Amino acid sequence: MKTVKDYIRTIVDFPHEGIMFRDVTTLFADPRGFRMAVDQMLHPYAGMQIDKVVGLEARGFILGGAIAHQLTVGFVPIRKKGKLPGAVISEAYTLEYGEAVMEIHDDAIKAGERILVVDDLLATGGTAAASIKLIERLGGEIVSTSFIIDLPELGGRKVLEGLGMDVQVLCEFEGA
């Protein structure tokens, strides 16, 4: 029987030499694989109150939209700087070579709303940690974070757990 991990393709030396890119587009393209991933990501939250799903740019939009639909709740995107129209709040975070900025609409989440954060891959945790800070600045209460893939060697899970987050993943891959 196939698992979610079986649907994920590895592309060697992308985007740089030495990187093992875990490509979830092959998972998304397969109807059984995609349904399996969404269903498994939903499972831990059965019966929990969740008000909104937040998806992180860009593959988190695909998962987040599907999960929000299944939960019958709203979806909120967190995007890279300059991609959202209207009033936003921003959070900078450190990358391997420099800095990046994530943004959310300043009215996307109301104080006290219970939020599920979704993305495809947890690596260093920088993007997710910046997103968590944005949600918390708006008064959102994060129920959990959910990812298809964890790259444990890069330490993202420890970063998020250090922020007090529940972290759910469907599979792990060794190596960056």
**Whether 59 is catalytic:** yes
- The tens digit of pLDDT for each residue in 6-60 reads 999 999 999 989 999 999 999 999 999 999 999 999 999 999 999 999 999 999 9
What does the block give as tokens for 22? 């875990």
Which of 22, 32, 59, 114 is flagged as catalytic?
A: 59
Predicted pLDDT at 176: 63
How far from the centroid of its chain's Cα atoms is residue 61's Cα?
A: 8
| Model confidence, pTM | 0.96
Crossing angle of helices 59-71 and 31-42, rounded to 10°? 60
Predicted pLDDT at 97: 72
Identity of the residue numbered 71 = L
DSSP readout, 75-91?
Answer: EEEEEETT-S-SSEEEE
Percentage of residues of the chain with pLDDT beyond 90: 93
How far from the centroid of its chain's Cα atoms is residue 75's Cα?
A: 13
Which phi and psi (to 5°) does residue 49 adopt? -80, 120
- The tens digit of pLDDT for each residue in 61-78 reads 999 999 999 999 999 999
Average pLDDT of the residues of the chain: 96
- The tens digit of pLDDT for each residue in 88-123 reads 999 999 876 779 999 999 999 999 999 999 999 999
The DSSP secondary-structure symbol of 58 reads T
Predicted pLDDT at 55: 98
Query: What domains are defined for the chain?
Result: 36-172 (3.40.50.2020)
Q: Is there a contact between 34 and 58 (Cβ–Cβ < 8 Å)?
A: no
Closest of 1, 8, 39 to residue 120, by C-alpha: 8
Which of 9, 22, 96, 174 is flagged as catalytic?
A: 96
